[in-house]
Amino acid sequence: MSPDTSDRDPITNQSLSLLLLISALLMVASLGWALYDEFYGLRPWKAYEQEFAVKYSAFLEKQKPKQEAAEKAIKTSPGYQALQAQADALQKSVEPQLRQLDEQAALVDQRLAVITLKYTDAHAHVTDMVWRIEHNSGSSKKSWQSDLTEFEKGPFKYQAVSLSDGRVNAESVDYEHLEDDFKALQAEKGELLVRKGDVLRPVSELRAKLQSYFKEHMDGLTATQIQGLIEKTRSMDIAIKQINLPDAGIIDRCESCHLGIREPLTITAKDMGGERAFVSHPDPDLLKIHDPDKFGCTPCHNGNGMQLDSVKQAHGEYEHWLAPLYHGSGLKGVSPGAYMEAGCQQCHASDMIVDHAPVLSAGKDLFQWRGCVGCHRFQKYDTAPEDLTAAAQTLDQNAKQRAQDLTDAAKANAAGDRAPDNATARKDYAQAEDLRLAVTKIDLETDQINRRVKFLQMDRKKVGPDLKEVRAKLRPEWIPVWLKNPHAFRPTTRMPRFRLDEDELPAVAAFIWQSGLDVKAPSQAPGDPAKGKVSFESRGCMACHAVGEGANAVGGWFGANLSRVGEKENYDYLVRWIHNPRERSAPYCPVEKRDLTAADYAKHNLPYVFDLDHSKCPNDGAELVVEQMTPMPNLRLSWEESRDIASYLMTLKEKDPSSYPAAPYLNDPKLKAQGREIVQRYGCAGCHEIAGLEDETRIGTELTAEGSKPLEQMDFALYIRQAKDDGWWTPKGFFEHKLTRPEMYDDGMLKAEGEELKMPDFFEPQNGDITKKWTPKDLPLESQQQIAELTTFLMGSVSPRYPSKYFHLPAGQQKDIQDGWWVVKKYNCMGCHQFTLDQSSVLMTLPQYQTPDGKGQLPPRLVTEGARVNPDWLARFLANPALSDNDTDRDGVRSYLKVRMPTFYFSPIEVRKLVRFFQALSAQPLPYIPQKLEPLSTEEIAMARALFTSKGAPCLKCHAVGLPAHDQYASAPNFLLAQDRLKPDWVTHWILDPALIDPGTAMPSGLFKQSDGHWVFNGPTPPIFKGYEGDQASLVMRYLFELTPSEQQKLIQMTGAGMSAVPAKSTSGLRREPASQASLSGMRRSAGR
Amino acid sequence: MDWKQLWDIISTPDNIPIAAIAVFVPFYSWLALRQARANDRLIAQLEADPQLAKTHHRKTQPWKPGWLKEVHTWPYLMRIEFLAALIVTVILTVWSITLNAPLEELSNPNLTMNPAKAPWYFLGLQEMLVYFDPWLAGVVFPTLIIVGLMVIPYIDANPLGSGYYTLKQRKWAIVTFGFGFIVLWILMVFIGTFLRGPGWVLFPLGKTWDPTYQPYAVNRDLPDLFHITSMTGKSIFGFVVVALYFLVMGLALHKLITRKGLNRKIYERMSLIQYATMQFFLISMVALPIKILIRLLFNIKYVWITPWFNV
């Protein structure tokens, strides 16, 4: 037996009260906790709302005195006071008039009150009786009729005020008079109101002026408005604030915590005691276009809009939410908020340039420029190859169908010949006819497709140069050096490093060398490098090409940096290239799949000539590839100038080409097959034209919806654990790291030869040490920025999650603009021209264009080009900027510029896109129907002549006239072009105030002044103008549009001696605005004399 | 040792009960056994002293003068039960406040989670899926378990040990239940929670779950070892093996039961049907760990292959 010391029964004598009490208390406490949790713990947004109400009203209270003071300052300012006094005085002056009107109105009201009562009653009776008459027949109709007549006689008696003397009289009238009186009174009342309004109008106009004066000067909200906000905030409901858009499945409760987002003031975190959740939207303009009530928050920002449990969950930053909030930056070189722009891409995928999203737009641009499209398909990018394949298929089908139809037609004909009776024969013949008709239709369609194929061939560009030309173009020893690491030779090159090992490198080099066409560029005499340098710097080459490395680089980024071009090029080829970069050594036939030789042409007794006008294959009639697929245009330079530039470029080198080690293996035929296999594996043909690999397709994965790829499907390889621990296990982290060092996901993996990741290295670490592993942080800032831009673009490229009505699918002119941007970006038109006000061209930033003379040499701004030029002319100009077939070494419009508008050999497709683009940028309607101008009378012509040749308006001084001696000093286009080229409206605006359209133009402003509602010349008017009533600006404009060469000759003769000996200084002095004003004031002075 | 991962597993709300089981099952087993030992000592005392046995009226406490002969349910039992109810309510309330349900967002049909685990209480069943056909592991065995639990009262021929803890009087039943509950259920849940990683691969405790880890595991069927290729041959072979197992195991268990003392007495009180039922469920139950072992040790997938099911 256990030694139980007590005899007390452990069951009956034990008291559990204390335990029970404690448990009960615990239970009550837990219940309390549960209630708290229910009301606050699970609903953190309540605390946010309470905090916001307190902080925001405190913030507003602080704003109020400031705004009140500002308000007071405005109200006490003399301008406001004067207006106020004026308004008050006016108010006082109309006061008696108003009083009188009010008295009269009161009288009318009194009388109307009595009559209305009487009339309403009588009218109801009449209406009732009329209905009965209309709906009865026979005797009852008649009886109602008589009743009505009786009733209308009245008399209706009432006591009403008389309008004339204001006394109350007893009146008695019949129904008709009653009705008339009622209506007249109503009319009178209305008229009195109108008169009152008329009297008051000047006053209210002044008051409106006062108000707008106030608004103009008031910065921010008024004290009253702020008071309203305070009251609104104080009485705010503590409730979930939700945007619900059922059609898109958007339920966004973000504003339950982000309460300040739509407030009309700028609220910073500092204003709210450091609480970043309460700031106002940083870009209110963006919010205006995307009303949150229509778009919600998550379509742009991502995150879990429905969640309110915690910040982390609401932002979607947890494992189970596939669209976490787009956050600000991660890398150093990236502007804060950059990645947020990824949210724009889903709906703005069709836009090349997205406003408010510079990073995303840059990413879109980079995707093309860096050559990502060479390996990765992305919708809308580089569609020409696909279109060409489709066209080739259609052509093939058509050919088959045509042959079939012809056979069938012959058969039907034969059947008709043998037919037993006429009816059958007729039917057979008809069938044969139909088939022959079908053949015609096919033929016409084939013609169209062939034309389209030709255009597509013209538009097709490759990121890299044509490798068929290597033997003519390059020094062989340079190729392996380049392939080993292109960045070492040219740090800014677009060509990435392919990590070729010792076996692969010679094989690839040998294949490229041996697959090149065995051609030579015609040999050239040496040029003058000094002259070449001048040409290179003035012809516009530097809009795309830079010379100098690193910080010393001067010039554009679009084309290759030419600092060491002398180490690699063959002089002869370079001359040909500069003369016309599109010139090919041999045409390529896509049907035969080979490059044609002179023998092919000789077989058909044709000269070996192939260009855009001779682009049919002599063997099979297919459209040949006759141009090199480079965006570099033809500058139409003479052979001599080309030689000079080439000679200059050949001097650009760091070391002598002869110091390169020889590479005898390039001609080793054994290496060729291996090299071909490697070149194919790495997809080199995506960016380069390579003989034998013309039909290679892209080797990379399509990226159109890469941002939607589940994280689990992204191959982090051995980095998965590290990525999770370091917080980059996200699509953003994957893209960033992949772009930084693509081979990182091979680290530590055992892979068979040829199975390694193929994506090459586009970026290199700051220290240039590629033997060690590097991370995004080791890259130069510029590279980090590019990576951020591309990452933003890729993150945003998701498969659509919302109905299409939410997407921005540009139509009409908006579409024209976006289509145009593709072309503009493709050819780097922005290297020379300015299209929008916020963009500057490369040339504008170069040192040689900073001087006054240099600025005058800048290519024209194209901000209002669409309004300026006739679209038909523009199309002609774009196709042939020389505006001449014979004299091509010139600029069609601005012959005075050294910079040359080159020939881009745009296809009609692209010309159309560009023309529409310019028209749309200036909101000009298409098609353009020229305005009909009133022809000038003889007197008017004489007047115009007088004006054009007067000393006050030396138009021909600057404008080219076609005389070489004069034109070398000219700084403006020839007037003869105006008729074809310009739009009359624009010309009028231009001659009135050119500085407004093109700030800094050489054309002087203030040539005309307003007088009696029309424009007259602002200077000494020639005597012939005496008595002329018409608009003189319009006269000049109409004269310009009627100008003929002979008329111009007349003008030249009339101007006479002043023409030829124009000193260069004075023309250039006219160029800048201050200078032009100076010359104008000089002009005025002379007028005074 | 990947402590972070271990902590992640333990701290997942879904796995809290399992962490609790790891503590509570041993504790309560120990508590029950302690009580059983005390009772066993009392039983021995009573058996030795018939006088004491006559006066003793409470099953687990030795009698003392002045004690009530019987204790009423109310209030003596109810108040304890009420106390327990209070404490459990508090625990559940606090639990539900502090740990939210591990609910996830809308499923993504393009994505299967890896590892995809059943709720913790079904992990034992999921573990069985590794070793048996789905319809056996998912349908037949659960049914057998439920039926087996249901038949316990009907095959229990032991009149002793009802209403108090005892080991001595119910050794057979306690060992059998302990095997079934702790080994076949709790252990399997534990394995499923802590050791099964991505790809349902068996990771040693604390080894990092690497989705790319592919240990060598090529399984074969028992008939293959004997070069039996035809389906009929395999069916017959498997049947013979399984039948042999039942026979041998039945005989062994029979030997064990009828060896001595109490078990033999209980055996004698049982009808043939009761005994056969007990034998069937016992043999089936023992088969489960045997199957697991031959899989893990010999890489043998199936023993009995038929066109309709595999065992």
pLDDT tens, residue by residue, B71-103: 889 888 999 999 999 999 999 999 999 988 777
Measured between alpha carbons, how far is A50 from A46 in angstroms, rounded to an integer?
6
Distance CA A154, CA A175 (A): 6
CB B174 within 8 A of CB B158: no
Residues 6+ apart with CB under 8 A from B242: B303, B304, B311
Q: Chain A contact for B67, CB < 8 A?
A: yes
Residues in CB range of A794: below 8 A, 6 or more apart: A363, A703, A706, A707, A731, A735
Q: In what order do the strands lie in the sheet with A583-589?
A: A594-595, A583-589, A625-627
For residue B163, is it left (φ>0), alpha (ψ between -120 and 50) or beta?
left
- Enumerate the residues of chain A whose CB falls inside 8 A of the CB of residue B97: 30, 33-34, 37, 41
CB pairs A-B closer than 8 Å = 70
Tell me which chain A residues have a C-beta less than 8 angstroms from the C-beta of B80.
Answer: 16
Q: How crowded is the C-beta side of A258, counted as CA atoms within 13 Å?
A: 20
Q: What are the C-alpha distances in Å from A209 to residues A136, A203, A205?
A: 63, 10, 6
For residue B111, the chain A residues in CB contact (below 8 A) are: 710, 712-713
Is the minimum CB–CB distance between B89 and chain A shorter than 8 Å?
A: yes
Closest to A182 measured CA to CA, from A248, A126, A116? A116
Taking the CA atoms of residue B111, residue B114, residue B120 and residue B122 in that order, the dihedral angle to the nearest 10 degrees is 80
Nearest residue on chain B to A29, judged by CA atoms?
A: B90
Nearest to A470 by CA among A480, A461, A460: A480
**Cα(B267)–Cα(B254) distance, integer angstroms:** 9
Angstrom distance (rounded) from CA A853 to CA B60: 115
Interchain pair A1, B110: CB under 8 A: no
Which residues of B are less than 8 Å from A37 in CB distance? 97
**Which of B79, B96, B203 to mutate to test binding with chain A, by most A CBs within 10 Å of its CB?**
B79
**Virtual CA dihedral for B185, B187, B192, B193, nearest 10 degrees?**
110
Tokens for A657, please give them. Answer: 């080409």
B76 touches chain A (CB under 8 A): yes
> Nearest to residue B300, comparing CAs of B311, B287, B286?
B311
A381: CB partners within 8 A, 6+ apart: A367, A368, A373
Gap between the Cα atoms of A412 and A414, Å rounded: 5
B210 contacts chain A (CB < 8 A): yes
Residues of A in contact with B45 (CB under 8 A): 1
Q: Is B97 in contact with A26 (Cβ distance < 8 A)? A: no
How far is it, in rounded angstroms, from Cα A587 to Cα B25? 85
Residues A71, A222: contact at Cβ < 8 Å? yes
Which residue out of B55, B93, B111 would a mutagenesis test of the A interface target, given it has the greatest number of A Cβ atoms within 10 Å? B93
Structure tokens at B193: 């929670």
A595 forms beta bridges with A588
3-state secondary structure of A77: coil
Please count the CA atoms within 13 angstroms of the CA of A123 that sit on its side-chain side. 12
> Which chain B residues touch A2 with a CB distance below 8 Å?
62
**Other beta carbons within 10 Å of A6:** 8
C-alpha distances (whole Å) from A638 to each of A167, A523, A535, A607, A887 are 104, 16, 11, 24, 11
Both structure tokens of A913: 């896109």
Give me the residue from A26, A37, A309 closest to B97, CB to CB.
A37
- Encoding tokens for residue B271? 């009808």
CA distance A386 to chain B (A): 29
pLDDT band at B278 (very low <50, low <70, confident <90, very high): very high
Which residues in chain A are closer than 8 Å to B93, comparing Cβ atoms?
27, 30-31, 33-34
Find out whether A30 and A24 touch, Cβ atoms under 8 Å.
no
Out of A30, A37, A322, the one facing B108 most closely (by C-beta) is A322
Question: Count of CB atoms within 10 A of residue A288's CB?
Answer: 9
Per-residue model confidence (pLDDT) at position A330: 66
- A634 pairs with which residues across the strands? A903
Cα–Cα dist A623/A588, whole Å: 9
B70 to chain A, any CB pair closer than 8 A? The answer is no
Q: Is A959 helix (H, G, I), strand (E, B) or coil?
A: strand
For residue A816, CA distances in Å to A443, A697, A875 come to: 32, 30, 15
pTM of the entire predicted model: 0.82
Between CA A464 and CA A459 the distance in angstroms is 15
B217: distance to nearest CA of chain A, Å?
A: 21
Is B84's Cβ below 8 Å from some Cβ in A?
no
Q: Do A1 and B45 touch (CB under 8 A)?
A: yes
Model pLDDT for residues B25-38, shown as the tens digit of each residue: 999 999 999 999 98
Integer Rg of chain A from CA: 42
What's residue A329's pLDDT? 62
Cβ-contact A941, A1041 below 8 angstroms: no
Cβ–Cβ below 8 Å for B111 and A7? no
Query: In the prediction, which pLDDT does A6 show?
Result: 56
> Which chain B residues are within 8 Å of A712, Cβ to Cβ?
111, 114
Interface of B with A in 216-235 (CB under 8 A): none
Query: Looking at residue A727, what is its pLDDT?
Result: 85
Inter-residue contact A861 to A990 (CB < 8 Å): no
Query: Is A721's CB within 8 Å of B210's CB?
Result: yes
Mean pLDDT of each 10-residue bin along chain A, 1089 residues long = 58 88 96 93 91 93 89 86 88 89 89 89 91 88 89 85 81 88 92 91 88 84 89 91 92 94 90 90 91 93 90 86 79 75 91 90 93 92 90 92 92 88 90 92 92 91 93 93 93 92 93 92 93 93 91 90 93 95 92 90 91 89 90 93 95 90 91 93 94 90 91 87 87 93 91 89 90 90 91 93 89 91 93 88 89 83 89 92 84 85 93 94 88 84 82 78 77 85 88 81 80 78 76 85 85 67 40 37 33
C-alpha distances in angstroms, A889 versus A893, B3, B225? 12, 77, 89
pLDDT of residue A1: 41
| Pick from B192, B184, B182: nearest CA to B123 | B192
User: Shortest Cα distance from A309 to chain B (angstroms)?
Assistant: 11
3-state secondary structure of A109: helix
Asked if B24 is an interface residue toward chain A (Cβ–Cβ < 8 A), one would say: no
Chain A hits for B212, CB-CB cut-off 8 Å, are: 718
ipTM of the complex: 0.83
Q: Show residues of chain A in contact with B87, CB under 8 Å.
A: 23, 26
Neighbour-count burial of A367, counting CB atoms closer than 10 A to its CB (0-12 exposed, 13-18 middle, 19+ buried): buried
Q: Which long-range contacts (CB under 8 A, 24 or more apart) does A289-295 make?
A: A292/A243, A292/A252, A292/A255, A292/A261, A292/A262, A293/A243, A294/A245, A295/A245, A295/A250, A295/A806
Q: What are A's interface residues with B at a Cβ cutoff of 8 A?
A: 1-2, 4, 7, 9-12, 16, 19-20, 23-24, 26-27, 30-31, 33-34, 37, 41, 304, 309, 320-322, 710, 712-713, 718, 720-721
Q: Which residues of A891-902 are buried (b: 16+ CB within 10 A; e: fewer)?
A: bbbbbbbebbbb
Is the Cβ–Cβ distance between A305 and A254 less than 8 Å? yes
Q: What are the distances in angstroms from CA A350 to CA A110, A706, A789, A810, A1059?
A: 68, 16, 17, 7, 53
Whether the Cβ atoms of residue A690 and residue A515 lie closer than 8 Å to each other: yes
Pairwise CA distance, residues A42 & A308, whole Å: 8
Closest CA in chain B for residue A712? B111
- With tokens 């009559």, the residue in question is A115
B61 in A contact zone (CB under 8 Å): yes
